[in-house]
Structure 1
């Protein structure tokens, strides 16, 4: 696996290695000139041996001109000057009459430079470093430079624990004084840490100390955690953690006396030994605050986490200093310093602490700049800023601005830097450097999921249309159960104060028979307008108003009776609705793509307005919180609740049914498939007639708005949409999922570090639980289903890919299981 390496660090390391190269000394001289030729006046100068370099270049560096008098000293100076250019392997000076003859042998030019076999260090990083040192295609080749680079590369790999590495340079001569240079690297396996031994620890167990280290002894999980791979840099960091471990627990005299790294003869196993002296534990005798606190002294004193009679802790000391520094930075003191000065009394084993506050000048932000946004307009970034130009410096505003940029979803990384203005000690420039990701896509192709089967689609989406920050999406999709055409537009800054406005248009033909739901089909279309109103940095209100039309096709004997009865009671198969929605949301996530901390929650109410064919409402609540447990582990807890019901008058109708008759005998799609009325439609059916009469009604949440649970987006390990109430069609024994008006879903998911060092991939272990119920009175905790498993999500260039393997831990007979589930590609 390739590991990222700082190009600048690599270049500096290689440059350091080359800087130790001794300068070449000019030793090739024309002895006849040096010993037998008297000084003479140069009438002309001739240069022999040039192939690629022009004579003019030689004359530029040659310290001799026509008319000069040449002797042995000036000839030697000329040779040294030409050698210093680095262009020549050999230089000699001779005389032909009064003509000075300079004979050179050019160094060859590098035709191609290639590196093979490298995995731990990226090729582009190596090439960048070599290019900055002049070892690149088209430049002059220097064998000594190549040797030094070879030694430095070997050292770099040794620092990564790869002691079996071999670096073999090959130089292949070509015509016209050119060479091909190939550096072949055989990295070998990294040496594994077999044993770590701490000597001198008496108060704390070795196991507890080593739990904080990145390095660890080789075990069966080392292939994934990579903690057993030795690295000099990683060991240095672990020794610093060892020092902090004791200082945070009061051992102010702690010291690391020795460290020894031994390697086995086959260079495969490492043995680490660290000698230490714990010393005595100290307590805090007093804490004094001095200097100019700027803020009220009592307020600053409340920021001190260190108190008298506490066990001394350097981490609490540093946290107190950082808290005070941050408070001052938020009111303009960008360069404030808080220096903890300890006074150690070794006789009493106490530490008196003086917190010295040096606020420095109050700083104004001159400019806010952006770098790396090749596609995104500055205006899109600037409107997310909470730190303004010309205002006092505020670290909180700068950090908040960074989080808002990350929340856009346009950038993979966002870095911020504060640069002092030259010649001014009270002004700074704030520079945000972003790395843009593809904010849009054009897809023409196929995808597959276990739910939808083979699908074809044409999709054009742009979350950052022409760099304006507007979202536009157009899609045409077709698969086993769906034809769908969408258009979406959203302007997140319709007004300067952040009010967003968008439009949605959709038309679809939907066949539920292949969708693990009740078997009916529908044709629908809708148009909506959506508005978002920010009410704080993290909170917003959304409102929606739209109109839709839904035509249902259902047949008795094919569709569950309750659905056919609902349509019959309403008396028509086409449902028209004016739809409204209002919702509140809060988003404190630190990233829109791969969050590691923060909360996302939303509650919204949607309802059809009076005058719609059916009047009903649905209320939904989604909550998700990310908990960073460590530098690598992130816990996500998630809950989804939904409930719906009707609020208008229910539909009631008396119908008749003649056994054996065709319930939709006329096959007229313009009329709903109802029970046949009696001989005289104006008279009700009677039980003594050949017809059977009964009363049907339509009440509660319409069946086509029911919630469904099960599958990759709710409770993994169960087939999509199969949990909850089921019902058979008339004359059939097959139970079809019909959903319900109450949904409860929850999940606990742990995200782990991946083998691929990229924000585009995440691996997790999860526990999902949930179910859907017919109505609120039907809720029963004992009916909840649960599963556990592992999952991988990858934001690939072709679209998002999700794969999960789940094992149901709470199931019932008849549940449809699907342990391996995946989706490829995304939808709007």
Structure 2
């Protein structure tokens, strides 16, 4: 062997082969000092990545152990499919062959999932464009795709991967997916039940065997997560009715050989029903036992109710939190007497130590300014921990509408047992919108709309909006801005510029118009967490534009007071809202009062409106809703109430079954002209749509309406109220809230205009 030229070549396919190479002395080379290191075969990998993985440098003494370690380290990078070491004199040559990189990932035949969502799931397993191709990663990707399809009840889904080499050592990956038909739940059985019928228990579940609306709800598709939720619902149902020792013995899910039918069987043991014999308090209650006793919802003599036990212990912890005891523990200990089927409950409490809030942190807001979130906080730093204020802070931030999720975490401060840090985690959502749309209603026919809105302009929490609306009867262009914190105390300011043209609803095809334009400013002063008082002023001008079929009353008013009237109404209002939702409420109350007083200008008047809504949850599925609205107006300084400020009634939002805006006085031409007084009462019983489970966005309702409109100077006569009853459909659709009603007038008078079927997108109660 030439002393000046030594050649050593190692071809390694794995670290194990490298170890065998080192162990075999026949392949060994004598140690030598490395004068230079060269790397050959690199295409995309940086040389620095290879040098950083080598266990030796120029000038170090090379030996076989270091060679094996180098091969192992380079293979561990996952970037190479072959590595060789060659020794030429005192120069070490590292020869590598890179793995091909993924150029594109394509999904063929995927219909159940959006392709962008599938690509994201592939990134989660490490398979994406620009990454080295690895057969093991491809296998993992196939399994992940099958798992996602199984979660959708597509058990027969097949995934075949095609790898296509292309230029520059790259590959295209194609996942060819055959989805097949989803497996449907054929049968759900509950075995072992005695106290309640099997149909009653199955009615608690989100999963079912399907119905005519299953294409929308997909409730007949098996999901392990949904089944677990149904099992917990079943357990809670029994525990809330005294079955303290209820248990689910087994859960069996069987799928047919063709992977199309699923049978679910739940084996249960009900146990005996227990009645609460007594409830007593033990432990430290801060000397406020009576206050804590008032929070107890568990009543002796009634069946044991796990929901009330949980509700009571939570109320105790929250009450301790109101006094600063963030680490209070409350335990409900049952003492069971199986001879009498009675249970005595002991509520053991330990407030632990009082805590201060050291720091309040906000995380997750990349666009919204910190101050926009922090000004909603009612829990302050360096003050006592207050559970109510922390919950209120979270609710206020959530009600801003800028975030998908709002969560609060409380953490102990290391080394400070009496301090906690509170962190609010938010996930932002888009708050701007550009909308072009069209709507159709039985009253206004075709309407077009355009709007640009930004609820959180530049992350400041301010609202900016431009709205344009057009329809057969109402047209408007409105520019609005709202600063919810015009002052540091939370006083809001809103500014509106508007131009509206309208025509009262009637069946005469006239082209006259009432045109109102002006500007207004209003301030809102929060007096509590749910109460706000508003006041402001508006400068407006109303023009009566004559046209064909204009009501005689409008001409008479214009001839006496002019076709154009300018007024400066001062507005005062109040609202209180503690509903659980604004679009689909099931509990809570809403009240709103607005009053406008015009003492300056051509038209002088006072106009007030009060609305009251109450939602009563009868169960998880059923809600009883009440709505009352009263309006009143009067002219001032000897003038009549302006006819263009009249109230109108009839139709959706009023008394259904009567044509929109046709209730109340009419002039000599027969046109409905509205009135200065309005009374409206609605009662609704809301229930889930058959086959839609407990989906609150799609509901049926039965209703009873009563109301009327009265002219200026006329007294409100309740025997003149119109009334109707019927059924309806409420759906929060992608284009807005839709309500459809079919009504039967049960109290009507001669000349009333009846319209039994009515619908509208975006209407109110």
1:814 CA displacement: 5.8
Find 1:582's aligned residue among 572, 595, 601.
572
1:367–1:449 Cα change, 3 Å: farther
Find 1:620's aligned residue among 577, 592, 609.
609
Find 1:704's aligned residue among 629, 636, 644.
644
Q: How big is each residue's C-alpha offset from its partner over 1:745-803, in whole Å with a ceiling of 9 and x where there is no partner?
A: 3363748599999x9x943434473553234345436523455332434465xxxx454
Q: Distance in 1 between matches of 2:22 and 2:394?
A: 72
Q: How big is each residue's C-alpha offset from its partner over 1:225-276, in whole Å with a ceiling of 9 and x where there is no partner?
A: 4332211222223223333333333333333222222111221111122222
Q: Distance in 2 between matches of 1:182 and 1:559?
A: 68
Partner of 1:789: 728
Contact 1:280 1:349 in 2 (8 A): yes
Structure 1 residue 738 corresponds to structure 2 residue 731: no
Structure 1 residue 817 corresponds to structure 2 residue 755: yes
Partner of 2:172: 180
The 5 Å alignment of 1:169-318 reads 169-294=161-286, 296-318=288-310
1:629–1:464 Cα change, 3 Å: farther
Q: Distance in 2 between matches of 1:755 and 1:138?
A: 47
Contact 1:215 1:227 in 2 (8 A): yes
Contact 1:447 1:456 in 2 (8 A): yes
Structure 1 residue 360 corresponds to structure 2 residue 295: no
Find 1:337's aligned residue among 314, 323, 329.
329
1:375 CA displacement: 4.1
Which secondary structure does the structure 2 equivalent of 1:737 belong to? coil
Structure 1 residue 765 corresponds to structure 2 residue 765: no
1:194–1:35 Cα change, 3 Å: same
Contact 2:510 2:549 in 1 (8 A): no
Q: How big is each residue's C-alpha offset from its partner over 1:666-703, in whole Å with a ceiling of 9 and x where there is no partner?
A: xxxxxxxxxxxxxxxxxxxxxxxxxxxxxxxxx5x332
Q: How big is each residue's C-alpha offset from its partner over 1:719-750, in whole Å with a ceiling of 9 and x where there is no partner?
A: 54234433343xxxxx3221123323336374
Which secondary structure does the structure 2 equivalent of 1:40 belong to? coil
Question: Which segment is superposed worse, 122-131 or 251-260?
Answer: 122-131
Q: Distance in 1 between matches of 2:403 and 2:685?
A: 25
Q: Distance in 2 between matches of 1:749 and 1:532?
A: 34
Which secondary structure does the structure 2 equivalent of 1:776 belong to? coil
Which secondary structure does the structure 1 equivalent of 2:292 belong to? helix
Structure 1 residue 605 corresponds to structure 2 residue 595: yes
Contact 1:708 1:740 in 2 (8 A): yes
Partner of 2:52: 60
1:56–1:527 Cα change, 3 Å: closer
Q: Distance in 1 between matches of 2:508 and 2:385?
A: 57
Which secondary structure does the structure 1 equivalent of 2:49 belong to? helix
Q: How big is each residue's C-alpha offset from its partner over 1:490-528, in whole Å with a ceiling of 9 and x where there is no partner?
A: 433333323334444445565669897987544544444
Partner of 1:643: 632
Question: Which segment is superposed worse, 712-721 or 375-384?
Answer: 712-721
1:443–1:220 Cα change, 3 Å: closer
1:763–1:34 Cα change, 3 Å: same
Q: Compare CA radii of gyration and give the structure with the larger one.
A: 1
Q: Distance in 2 between matches of 1:55 and 1:493?
A: 57
Structure 1 residue 721 corresponds to structure 2 residue 711: no
1:222–1:476 Cα change, 3 Å: closer
1:397 CA displacement: 1.2
1:32–1:528 Cα change, 3 Å: closer
Q: Distance in 2 between matches of 1:753 and 1:85?
A: 57
1:174–1:629 Cα change, 3 Å: farther
1:601 CA displacement: 1.0
1:413 CA displacement: 4.1
Contact 1:33 1:94 in 2 (8 A): no
Partner of 1:389: 381
Q: Distance in 2 between matches of 1:252 and 1:476?
A: 60
Which secondary structure does the structure 2 equivalent of 1:273 belong to? strand
Q: Distance in 1 between matches of 2:285 and 2:561?
A: 77
1:375–1:338 Cα change, 3 Å: same
1:390–1:190 Cα change, 3 Å: farther
1:554–1:62 Cα change, 3 Å: closer
1:149–1:486 Cα change, 3 Å: closer
1:508–1:805 Cα change, 3 Å: closer
Q: Distance in 1 between matches of 2:94 and 2:138?
A: 28
Which secondary structure does the structure 2 equivalent of 1:26 belong to? helix
Contact 1:751 1:763 in 2 (8 A): no
Q: How big is each residue's C-alpha offset from its partner over 1:356-402, in whole Å with a ceiling of 9 and x where there is no partner?
A: 22323322223333344444333233222212222222221122223
Q: Distance in 2 between matches of 1:212 and 1:777?
A: 48
Q: Distance in 1 between matches of 2:28 and 2:365?
A: 68
Mark the runs of 5 or more structure 2 residues left unpaired by the alignment. 1-12
Partner of 1:40: 30
Q: Distance in 2 between matches of 1:784 and 1:389?
A: 56
1:565 CA displacement: 3.9
1:104–1:522 Cα change, 3 Å: closer
Q: Distance in 1 between matches of 2:578 and 2:50?
A: 65
Contact 2:213 2:692 in 1 (8 A): no
Q: How big is each residue's C-alpha offset from its partner over 1:384-435, in whole Å with a ceiling of 9 and x where there is no partner?
A: 2212222222221122223323333444543333344444433333333444
Contact 2:211 2:691 in 1 (8 A): no
Contact 2:626 2:683 in 1 (8 A): yes
Which secondary structure does the structure 1 equivalent of 2:17 belong to? coil
Partner of 1:323: 315
Which secondary structure does the structure 2 equivalent of 1:426 belong to? strand
1:102 CA displacement: 4.8
Q: How big is each residue's C-alpha offset from its partner over 1:609-630, in whole Å with a ceiling of 9 and x where there is no partner?
A: 2x65454332211123445566
Contact 1:518 1:736 in 2 (8 A): no
Q: Distance in 2 between matches of 1:250 and 1:480?
A: 60
Which secondary structure does the structure 2 equivalent of 1:270 belong to? strand
Which secondary structure does the structure 1 equivalent of 2:675 belong to? coil
Partner of 1:672: none
The alignment's TM-score, normalised by the length of structure 1, stands at: 0.78
Contact 1:597 1:628 in 2 (8 A): yes
Question: Which segment is superposed worse, 178-187 or 520-529?
Answer: 520-529
Partner of 1:679: none
Mark the runs of 5 or more structure 1 residues left unpaired by the alignment. 1-22, 651-698, 730-734
Contact 1:42 1:68 in 2 (8 A): yes
Contact 1:363 1:392 in 2 (8 A): yes
Q: Distance in 1 between matches of 2:147 and 2:91?
A: 50
1:74–1:790 Cα change, 3 Å: same
Q: Distance in 2 between matches of 1:479 and 1:160?
A: 43
Contact 2:504 2:672 in 1 (8 A): no
1:397–1:590 Cα change, 3 Å: farther
The alignment's TM-score, normalised by the length of structure 2, stands at: 0.84
Contact 2:235 2:247 in 1 (8 A): yes
Cα RMSD of the aligned pairs, angstroms, is 4.1
Which secondary structure does the structure 2 equivalent of 1:726 belong to? coil
Contact 2:706 2:721 in 1 (8 A): no
Q: Distance in 2 between matches of 1:359 and 1:789?
A: 52
Contact 1:547 1:577 in 2 (8 A): yes
Q: How big is each residue's C-alpha offset from its partner over 1:469-488, in whole Å with a ceiling of 9 and x where there is no partner?
A: 34444567676666755444
Which secondary structure does the structure 2 equivalent of 1:237 belong to? helix
The 5 Å alignment of 1:422-433 reads 422-433=414-425
Q: Distance in 2 between matches of 1:366 and 1:594?
A: 39
